Structure 1
Amino acid sequence: MSRYERALVEHLLPAVWDAGAAYGIRSPTAPDADMPKGSVDPKTASTLFAHLADIRLGWAACDLSLGERRAIFMRFALDWPDDLIAARDGVTGRAVRYRIERGIGKLAAYLNGTDYIDSYGELETAA
């Protein structure tokens, strides 16, 4: 079973809105292109297509606030920088970064089947 880290979720998100983006996504576990070819065991083949299906389902089902959804969409679908998103939504750049960070965390937790923990303070009380 593969664990969804924040970096992997961010890597996969553009494919939610652009199916063609999947052609430009490399599997994080794939060898470099200049490496010699070897035999491939189909049981341990790439999980990229499963990840792409999961990220689409996660986006549709995860409990994200409207602000988080908007910020993530503008960043990963439209490739807007923080200041443009902030100007569009009438918030600060810091608020945009918080929304994106929190939304990515919620998505990763959802995909991993765990509860999202917002801060280290909550982590101590959850233990």
Structure 2
Amino acid sequence: MADTLTPAQRSKRMSLIRGKNTGPELAVRKLVYAAGYRYRLHSIKLPGRPDLVFHGRRKVIFVHGCFWHRHEGCRLARLPKSRLEFWGEKLEGNKRRDMRNQEALVEIGWSVLVVWECELADEKALIERIRAFLG
């Protein structure tokens, strides 16, 4: 069925995918807030518009979906079986953009932590990792 869609229909479907306030992002925000940390969201002044911004600490957290951001070695990062050329190019472009944004943040003196969607399975380990980063 997906192969019979017109380019306009495909574009419409892609436009429905959210970039902010995703399920994994909301789960991380809830964990961080419960741990007593306060943050800003999606600062347009910083490269890549990080998901959580801790201005006083000069630290940011990106919450990445394993599929969309190509989490190496993760079972959630499998490529679709159809339209391999499109998806390969699209997802590798996302990965390159992420690296550029992270490098730009480090260059201007910010520390960066990437939290992967699959890490939410072990919330205890995740919050310890976040505490160590923000410490």
- Given the two structures, how large is their TM-score scaled by the length of structure 2? 0.29
More helix by share: 1
Q: Which has the higher contact order (CA 8 A, sep 6+)?
A: 1
